Chains A and B, each alone.
Chain A
Amino acid sequence: MVRTTVIRKNRYLDSVFLMQVARRIAGQPGLRDASALMATEANRKVLASLGYGDGGRDADFATAGPNDLVLAIEGEAAAVAAIAADADAWLARGSGAASMAAREPRTIPEAVAGRPDCTLAVISVPGEHAAREARLALEAGLHVFLFSSNVSVEDELALKTEARRRGLLVMGPDCGTAYLGGAGIGFANAVRPGSIGIIGPSGTGMQEFACLVHRFGAGISHGIGTGSRDLSDAIGGISTMMGLDALEADPATRLIAVISKPPGEATTARLWERLRRCAKPVVLCLLGAEPGAIEAPGASPLAGAEGTIHVAATLDEAVCLALEELGLPGSAQLRPDGEALRRQAAFATGQLAPEQRHIRGLFAGGTLCYQSQAIFRRAGLAVCSNAPLSGMRQLPDPWVSLGDSFVDLGAGLFVEGRPHPMIDASLRRERLEQEGQDPSVAVLLLDFILGAMSSGDPVGGLLEAILGAQHAAIRKGGRLCVVASVCGTEDDPQGLQNQTRALEEAGVLVFPSHALAAAFCVEVMLQLRNRKEVH
Chain B
Amino acid sequence: MSLKERINAANEEALRRIVAADPVLVDVAPAGDVIPGLEDRMILHSGPPVTWERMCGAQRGAVIGMCLFEGWAQDPAAAARMLAAGEIALEPNHHHGTVGPMAGTITRNMWVWVVENRAFGNRAFCRQVESFQQFGDHSPDALAGLEKWRDTWGPALGTAVRKMGGVPLKQLVARALLMGDEMHNRVVASSSLFANAVAPHLVVCGLPTEQVVSTLFYAGNHPFLFLGLSMAAAKASMDPVRGVEASTVVTAMARNGTEFGIQVSGLEGEWFTAPAPRVQGLLLPGWKEEDAGLDMGDSAITETVGWGGAALGGAPGILSFTGGTAEQALAFSRDMRGISTGLSPDYLMPALNFEGTAVGIDIRKVVHANLVPVIDTAIAHREPGHGIIGGGIVRPPMECFTKALARFAEKYQG
Kindly identify, within residues 272 to 311 of chain B, every residue whose CB is under 8 Å from any CB belonging to chain A: 282-286
Cβ A99 vs Cβ B285 within 8 A: no
Cβ A113 vs Cβ B286 within 8 A: no
Cβ A22 vs Cβ B328 within 8 A: no
Cβ B318 vs Cβ A16 within 8 A: yes
Kindly identify, within residues 353 to 401 of chain B, every residue whose CB is under 8 Å from any CB belonging to chain A: 365, 368-371, 390-391
Shortest A265–chain B CB gap in Å is: 34
A531 within 8 A of B: no
Cβ B285 vs Cβ A50 within 8 A: yes
A72 to B285, CA, bound (A): 9
Q: A35-B285, A103-B335, A110-B337 are in contact. Are A17 and B320 (CB under 8 A)?
A: yes
Contact with B along A49-60 (1 / 0, CB 8 A): 110000000000
Cβ B370 vs Cβ A106 within 8 A: yes
A534 within 8 A of B: no
Contact of B323 among A14, A37, A97 (CB under 8 A): A97
Q: Enumerate chain A residues within 8 angstroms of B371, measured Cβ to Cβ.
A: 106
Q: Enumerate chain A residues within 8 angstroms of B318, measured Cβ to Cβ.
A: 16
Contact of A95 among B323, B331, B335, B390 (CB under 8 A): B323
A20 within 8 A of B: yes
A99 to B369, CA, bound (A): 24
Shortest B382–chain A CB gap in Å is: 19
Q: A17-B320, A19-B320, A95-B324 are in contact. Are A105 and B286 (CB under 8 A)?
A: no
Q: A35-B285, A106-B371 are in contact. Are A16 and B321 (CB under 8 A)?
A: yes
Contact with B along A40-55 (1 / 0, CB 8 A): 0001001101100000
Q: Enumerate chain B residues within 8 angstroms of A101, measured Cβ to Cβ.
A: 327
Cβ B286 vs Cβ A46 within 8 A: yes
Cβ A20 vs Cβ B330 within 8 A: no
Q: A19-B282, A49-B286 are in contact. Are A103 and B323 (CB under 8 A)?
A: no
Q: A20-B323, A97-B328, A99-B325 are in contact. Are A107 and B365 (CB under 8 A)?
A: yes
Shortest A97–chain B CB gap in Å is: 5
A109 to B370, CA, bound (A): 14
- Report the interface size for chain B: residues with CB under 8 A from the other chain: 27
A100 within 8 A of B: yes
Cβ B320 vs Cβ A100 within 8 A: no
Q: A106-B370, A107-B369, A113-B337 are in contact. Are A14 and B317 (CB under 8 A)?
A: yes
Shortest A85–chain B CB gap in Å is: 21
Q: Enumerate chain B residues within 8 angstroms of A33, measured Cβ to Cβ.
A: 285-286
B338 within 8 A of A: yes
Cβ A23 vs Cβ B285 within 8 A: no
Q: Which residue of A lies closest to B370 (CB)?
A: A106
A103 to B371, CA, bound (A): 13
B138 within 8 A of A: no
Cβ B282 vs Cβ A110 within 8 A: no
Q: A16-B320, A97-B324 are in contact. Are A110 and B285 (CB under 8 A)?
A: no
Shortest B243–chain A CB gap in Å is: 26
A102 to B333, CA, bound (A): 11
Cβ A110 vs Cβ B321 within 8 A: no
Tell me the dominant secondary structure on chain B's binding face. Answer: helix
Shortest A74–chain B CB gap in Å is: 10
Q: Enumerate chain B residues within 8 angstroms of A22, measured Cβ to Cβ.
A: 282, 285
Q: A107-B368, A110-B369 are in contact. Are A20 and B320 (CB under 8 A)?
A: yes
Contact of A106 among B330, B338, B390, B391 (CB under 8 A): B338
B334 within 8 A of A: yes
Shortest B361–chain A CB gap in Å is: 13
Residue of A22, A50, A95, A102 most packed against chain B (CB within 10 A): A95
Q: A14-B317, A17-B320, A107-B368 are in contact. Are A100 and B338 (CB under 8 A)?
A: no
Shortest B283–chain A CB gap in Å is: 8
Q: Which residue of B lies closest to A105 (CB)?
A: B338
Contact of B285 among A14, A20, A46, A102 (CB under 8 A): A46
Shortest A300–chain B CB gap in Å is: 48
Q: Enumerate chain B residues within 8 angstroms of A106, measured Cβ to Cβ.
A: 335, 338, 369-371
Shortest B324–chain A CB gap in Å is: 6
Shortest B343–chain A CB gap in Å is: 9
A292 within 8 A of B: no
Cβ B317 vs Cβ A16 within 8 A: yes
Cβ A114 vs Cβ B331 within 8 A: no
Q: A106-B370, A107-B365, A110-B338 are in contact. Are A50 and B286 (CB under 8 A)?
A: yes
Q: Enumerate chain B residues within 8 angstroms of A16, measured Cβ to Cβ.
A: 282, 317-318, 320-321, 391
A424 to B330, CA, bound (A): 40
Q: Which residue of B lies closest to A49 (CB)?
A: B286
Q: A16-B318, A105-B338, A110-B337 are in contact. Are A100 and B328 (CB under 8 A)?
A: yes
- Which residue numbers of B lie inside 8 Å of A, CB to CB? 282-286, 317-318, 320-321, 323-325, 327-328, 330-331, 334-335, 337-338, 365, 368-371, 390-391
A-B contact pairs, 5 of them (CB 8 A): A23-B282, A35-B286, A95-B324, A100-B324, A107-B369
- Which residue numbers of A lie inside 8 Å of B, CB to CB? 14, 16-17, 19-20, 22-23, 33, 35, 37, 43, 46-47, 49-50, 72, 95, 97, 99-103, 105-107, 109-110, 113-114
